[in-house]
Amino acid sequence: MKFLCVPCDKPMQLLEASPPDRGSVSLVYSCDACGYEMAMLTNPQETQVVTSLGVKIGKDGAAESKCPFTGMLADMEQADDAIRWTPGARERLSSVPEFVRTMAKSGIEKYAREQGYAEVDEKVLDEARSHFGM
């Protein structure tokens, strides 16, 4: 989807994306030539369709700013934190697709508990790979 400022005949640029509100996302576009601003307000179905493509909305760094299309799954990661994760292990975990990350994390923590570990680090991940024959 693109937005055109009709009086200027210039493409509009995304200015900001607001966090989701009950599934609706607000995206503000502006025209660099005349400064005119407009907002696109999605309905939840539209939000979901874009989410389903696995893409992020917003300018650079939107993912880190809890962009509406990425914040939801990040919230799911507030799991039982009895097992600690080192930054290196967390970094590796981010390579697991988001839609199965929580399940993968649970499986790794189950292994860590069985082995008596209180923390998951890269060494534990490597050890688990050997344990499961990978």
Partner 1 sequence: MKSYYDITGDGGSNILEQVGAMQAAIDEKLAGVKHRLAIGSGKGGVGKSTLTRQLATALRQRGNACAILDADLNGPSQARLSGLQDVPLLPGAEGVALPRDANDVGVVSLGSLVPEHEAVRFDTVVEGDSYTWRATREFTAVAELLSSIDWGHLDYLLIDLPPGAERTLQFAEFLGSSTAFMLVTVPSDLARGVVARSVAALRGTPNRLLGYVENMRGYWCEDCNDVRPLFPESERIDLGIPRLGSVPFDPELAAACDRGEPAIGTDRPWWVAVRKLAEVVEETLETKASAE
Q: Which residues bind partner 1 (CB under 8 A)?
A: 1-4, 6, 9, 11-15, 20, 22-23, 27, 29, 44-45, 47-59, 72-73, 76, 92-100, 103-104, 106-108, 110-111, 125-126, 128-129, 132-134
Pairing outcome for strands 26-30 and 37-41: antiparallel
Within 8 A by CB and 6+ apart from 127, the residues are 115
* Residue 115 C-beta: closest distance to partner 1, Å: 13
Helix, strand, coil share of the chain (percent; to 5): 40, 20, 40
Q: Between 116 and 130, whose beta carbon lies closer to partner 1? A: 130
* Residue 110 C-beta: closest distance to partner 1, Å: 8
* Residue 102 C-beta: closest distance to partner 1, Å: 9
* Residue 118 C-beta: closest distance to partner 1, Å: 18
* Residue 121 C-beta: closest distance to partner 1, Å: 12
Q: Between 6 and 118, whose beta carbon lies closer to partner 1? A: 6
Dihedral pair phi/psi, residue 24, rounded to 5°: -100, 140
Q: Between 83 and 108, whose beta carbon lies closer to partner 1? A: 108
Cα 72 to Cα 22, 55, 99: the distances in Å are: 11, 13, 11
Q: Between 61 and 116, whose beta carbon lies closer to partner 1? A: 61
Task: Specify the amino acid at residue 99.
Answer: F
